[in-house]
Amino acid sequence: MELLSGADMIARFLQDEGIEYIYGYPGGAALHIYDALFRQDKVKHILVRHEQAATHAADGYARASGKPGCVLVTSGPGATNAVTGIATAYMDSIPMVVLCGQVASHLIGEDAFQETDIVGVTRPIVKHSFSIRHPSEIPEVLKKAFYLAATGRPGPVVVDIPKDMTAPTERYEYIYPKKVKMRSYNPVTRGHTGQIKKAVEMILKAKRPVFYTGGGVVTGKASEGLTDLVKQLGYPITTTLMGIGAYPQSDRQCLGWLGMHGSYESNMAMHHADLIIAIGARFDDRVTNSTSKFCPTAKIIHVDVDPSSISKTVRADVPIVGPASSVINEMISLVQGHKIAHPEALTEWWEKIDGWRADREGKLYEPSKVGEALKPQEVIEALCRVTRGEAYVTTDVGQHQMFAAQYYKFDKPNRLITSGGLGTMGFGFPAAMGIKQNYPDDDVVCVTGEGSFQMMMQELSTCKQYGVGVKIVNLNNASLGMVRQWQDLNYKSRHAHSYMESLPDFHMLIEAYGFTAITVNTLDELEPALERAFADKHELVFLDVKVDPFEHVYPMQVPLGAMRDMLLSKTERT
């Protein structure tokens, strides 16, 4: 029988669970745990410079790997600093376990130093939470936390750990639980066969079908099956922002992504479709625009592992509760050997879609002329060429995020790492850090803007300490670009607090940390600078790219309109 303190149980459990990195920041309530981590060498602790960065780094790792990220913070401000990152993971269904130190049990409720009811604070933004009541329950609770985070619809789980639960003087038997029993939690493992048959009948009879696939395909590891199914049928497919890469974007059948800044052809195809096959998508408002005008002629098949997502905002004609992978595999077996009922209608549908594509060809943006500021679109296209479309690309939130999603062509899932649901500025850099530590031989690039980067730029210090060689491409337009775009469109260009009037000299800032900085002003400087940045996979390089401050992101859906209602440029609309 092995006797361990609560703190040592935590360290041992993380080893047994196969956790390689834990991101965190120490404080009084978590010090017993930190001491236990110090006395072992299998789990590596990464000391971030702000707890929000710990959650984003763990989140980035989870999105890239599909495994739960792990965070350790102290009580009070340590825990509350992690709240934004917890909410970010929750909105995008990302598996994460956050271990929070707490004041000793007898002090809870007395407003003790650095006490916060973090279980209460995070209740709306976690999949589940636990509070440790006795040291002996730590292994079982942690096993449940990791199981809950990773199964069904993934999400963050908070474990609140009072300091006396980890005291080194109290020891209890440690056994690593290999299985989990939770009477009240039974995530579905397959869809209803009758509903799947009904869906496949509708799919084969459709005349204007479109696949609409989201982040659930990526987190559900269903990309390969989805590609097989779509190829067999020959149908068009569009993805959400979170679903980018679930189907190869370079393939002809892929219409790009849809919604507020999605492609013209994807939004037009959705609006005119007679059947929408939604898999792992939640009909977010950034996709549907006005739900009362959404896809007026379409029947809807909706596949989702979370029953609460189905018919939540748009009514499904055929609801299927189940994991994307198993439902898709069952669909593939049912489709095999059957022909689509209306091949001539599908041919006409593709002619219509190809017409929409041709309408916008060569009109997506005006390239920069000699002597003019770079267009941000040109930067992303060059980045895609230099990295051969194979990098892990993290983004912050704003115009640069949309340009990265529009102009970098992702043919693999888990490669675009971005905050979709919460839209968290500051996410990109620490997320890139978490990915690079786990995939050191891959290219990892953070596409950011000077507004977002300043929210987490202290993590340059973390990268210096641990030798994390991410690349940072800063699309510097000296403003909060997306805010300014909305002000141009809706507030007669009254730019209330959207200009950054006192930016640092990024070149000097990066060099102060001992890293390489390159400033890019013109198109002819761009590609050589990118080649230099990616020459050494293990060197952190910051590219400060001065881009056109007046450029907008298009297409852009007209608020409260249908999916087909779009602004196509500053002077055109559908």
CATH pick for 3-173 out of 3.40.50.2000, 3.30.70.980, 1.10.760.10, 3.40.50.970: 3.40.50.970
Q: pLDDT-derived band of residue 118, with 50, 70 and 90 as boundaries? A: very high
What span, in angstroms and rounded, lies between the C-alpha atoms of 193 and 150? 25
**In this model, does residue 501 exceed pLDDT 90?**
no
Q: Is 46 within 8 Å of 24 (Cβ atoms)?
A: yes
Question: Residue 253 CB: number of other CB atoms within 10 A?
Answer: 18
pLDDT digits (tens, 9 = 90+) for 134-179: 999 999 999 999 999 999 999 999 999 999 999 999 999 999 999 9
Hey, which bits of 354-470 come out as E strands? Answer: 392-395, 416-417, 444-448
Confidence of residue 283 (pLDDT cuts 50, 70, 90): very high
More confident call, 369 vs 514: 514
Torsion-angle region of 305 (φ positive above 0: left; ψ -120 to 50: alpha; else: beta): alpha
Return the CATH fold of 376-553. Answer: Rossmann fold (3.40.50)
CATH superfamily of 193-360: TPP-binding domain (3.40.50.1220)
Torsion from C-alpha of 388, 429, 122, 113, nearest 10 degrees:
160
Higher pLDDT, 495 or 337: 495
- Percentage of residues of the chain with pLDDT beyond 90: 97
pLDDT score for 370: 87
Q: Quick one: average pLDDT of 55-79?
A: 98
Cα separation values, 275 from 251, 301, 302, 315, Å: 21, 8, 11, 13
Q: Which amino acid is at 574?
A: T
Instruction: Tokens for 379, please give them.
Output: 């930067």
φ and ψ at 42, to 5 degrees? -85, -40
pLDDT of residue 1: 84
Confidence at residue 371, expressed as pLDDT on a 0 to 100 scale: 84
Residues of the chain with CATH 3.40.50.970: 3-173, 376-553
Residue-wise pLDDT tens digits, 1-50: 899 999 999 999 999 999 999 999 999 999 999 999 999 999 999 999 99
List residues with catalytic annotation.
51, 113-114, 163, 482
User: Cα(403)–Cα(381) distance, rounded to whole angstroms?
Assistant: 9
3 state SS of 400: helix
**Residues forming CATH 3.40.50.1220 domain(s) in the chain:** 193-360
Q: Which residue has the tokens 């984003």?
A: 56
Q: Which pLDDT band holds residue 337 (cuts at 50, 70, 90)?
A: confident
Cα separation, 213 vs 244, in Å, equals 9
Residues near 360 by beta carbon (within 8 Å), at least 6 away in sequence:
263, 264, 265, 568
Q: Tell me if residue 520 falls in helix, strand or coil.
A: strand
pLDDT at 362 over 90: no
Stretch 217-246: mean pLDDT, rounded? 98
Residue in 517, 436, 442 with CA at minimum distance from that of residue 46: 436
